[in-house]
Structure 1
Amino acid sequence: MELKGYSCIGLEQQPKTKKQIVVSRTFSKKVRDLEFMNEAVSDYASRACEKLRKENQYCKMISIFMRTNYFRKQDKQYHGFRSCQLFAPTNDTRDVLNAARQLTRQVFRENTNFVKLV
C-alpha cells in the first residue's frame, strides 16, 4: 500500500496458520449424563475436524475441558481437563473421535451438573 508514492504498510500474502482450533459451547441445561456428553463431544470433535480439513491442517493433540456453573455455589464445583497426544498428526474425524471419547470418560464425573464443554 502506498501513500503519496511511499510504501507505508506491507501486505501479508498468506494468512498465518492457526496454532489451535477451539469448538466450545455452553449447554442450555445442566448435563449429568455421560451418554449425552459423549454425543456433544462427538459433535464438537467432528466440527473441529471439518475446520482442520477446510484449512488443510492436521492436529497432533486434543484437549477436553468440562466445568460446572461457578455461579451456583450450591452445586458441587468441578473443572476437569485432560489432553492427549495423537499417534500421528491427523484431520480424520474417526481418529479424533476415539481420542475425544477416551478423554471424556476420564474427565466426566457422575452426579455433577456440567454446563460448559470445550
Structure 2
Amino acid sequence: MYPDRNQQWPRLLYHRHFMLSEFMHEIYQPPGPSAELLKANRQEARYWSLLRARYKHVHQSIVDHLKHEYPGDEVAIRRIEHLVPDLIDYQQEPIELTDKRLYRVLLDKPIEQDANE
C-alpha cells in the first residue's frame, strides 16, 4: 500500500528531507587527501578523491535543485549535528531538545593529523 500524497504530504516531505540529510552525512568525505596519504598510498588517495568528488557532486545537485525551486533565494547547505544531552547534565539543568546549545555545525575542512603522530 502506498501513502496517499494528498493526506500524507507533510510526513512524506519530512521523510524525504530526513533521508536526504542522512544520505549527505553518510557520503561525506572531507577535503583531501593529505600529502602524507598521497605519499603513503596513492590508490587510497585516489579513492579518497573519488569519494570527495561524489559528495561535492551530490551537494551541488541539491543546491542547483533548490535554486531552481526557489529562484532568487540564497541557498546554503550545512551539516548540523544535533547532540543529545548527557543524562547527569540534563538532570542538573533540564533543557529543551531544541535548545541552540545542542546543535553544532560540522565544518567542511580537511582532517588534521596530530603533531605527535
Output the TM-score relative to the length of structure 1: 0.29
Between Structure 1 and Structure 2, the one with more strand by share is 1
Relative contact order higher in (CA < 8 Å, ≥ 6 apart): 1
Q: Which has the higher helix share?
A: 2
Question: TM-score, normalised to structure 2's length?
Answer: 0.30
